[in-house]
Amino acid sequence: MLQRKNRILVLLISIVSLIILYPYLQGSIIKVALFTTLLSITLISSAYVLSYDRKPFAIALILGIPALLFTWLGFFAYNAIFAYASSIFTIAFYTFTLCMILSYVFNSKKIATAEIYGAVCVYLLMGITWGILYSLTEQLNPGSFVSRTGALLSWSDFVYFSFATLTTAGYGDIIAITARAQSLAILEMVAGVLYIAVLVARLVSLYGKRK
């Protein structure tokens, strides 16, 4: 259990680092390289969490290696196909990872540090995954999202919009325009609310059994 807790903690640290540092890693080629490296560390640490079981780990590698490959290909030689492939594989990889961690958290028979770390990781991965999904939607259908300031939207803007939607803060500075974009936003809002409600109910249940 201690080993699994440490694996989840590594993932949590990498996700929090990504969220905190990405605003400062935009602009120059060196900053973008550091940002891509940080993304890669998050992907690798996610796979590391699942390495306790061969089958989930194998699936994680099948999804994660192409995500990593296309991410770096896009850095060295930008191509729309590389960008699409990177987004698709990364979304699939993070979705699989958060589902596996979620299964572990909800199937646990007791409350421990690993379960708390895992629950936080799932929530943060939901926000990042939806952010990438919004970015992909905009790439495939430009104009799906608009900023009230009229500025072009970047990856960081979509992650920001994703967490604002997930937490139902809804600041209104970025707006989903098309029906598909609005549908994704609705699904994220519902998922965020349900996740917190179900998680709290589960933790209360486990705490009651513990007493």
The domain spanning residue 83 has which CATH number? 1.10.287.70
Average confidence score pLDDT of the chain:
88
Sequence-ordered alpha helix ranges (H) in 108-173: 113-140, 155-166
- Phi, then psi, of 95 in degrees rounded to 5: -65, -45
* Percent of the chain whose pLDDT exceeds 90: 55
Please choose, from the candidates 163, 181, 182, the residue with its C-alpha nearest in 3D space to the C-alpha of residue 171.
163
pTM: 0.90
Distance CA 64, CA 140 (A): 22
Distance CA 85, CA 144 (A): 19
Domain of residue 108, residue span: 2-210
Q: Kindly state the average pLDDT of the residues 107-119.
A: 85
In the chain, the number of structural domains is 1
Collapsing DSSP to helix, strand or coil, 88 comes out as helix
- Phi, then psi, of 146 in degrees rounded to 5: -135, 150
pLDDT at 1 over 50: no
CA angle (25 as vertex; 163, 142 as ends), nearest 5: 55
What local confidence, expressed as pLDDT, does residue 78 receive? 80
